[in-house]
Amino acid sequence: MASDKVITLTKDNFEQEVLKSDIPVLVDFWASWCGPCRAVAPIIDELSVEFDGRAKVGKVNVDEQGELVEKFRIMSIPTIILFKGGQMVDKIIGARTKEEFAKMIENNI
């Protein structure tokens, strides 16, 4: 089941939700037609619950948010980027385990 803690990110709210956030933000760049993205989706949902209050989790639909795709030079999906203090501090391309994504967040809290 999808978590209600995952923020749908667009060019309109990205700066406020991600770049101006006072806690780290994990951003999943994904698309509905991408198999590995669908495999990662439940993990992203779980992380949003587990790190609630300590980190935020958001998703960018690459088919709908071309400006953000260009800005962050997303070449393949899923691409998961961790932002802290308005800066990109870590990035994973491709599906990985929940532990790898969790470690990425924990290293930056």
**Residues assigned a catalytic role:** 34, 37
Contact 105, 47 (CB under 8 A): yes
Beta-carbon contacts of residue 109 (< 8 Å; ≥ 6 apart):
23, 24, 51, 54, 55
Which regions of the chain does DSSP assign to beta strands (E)? 6-8, 25-30, 56-61, 79-84, 87-93
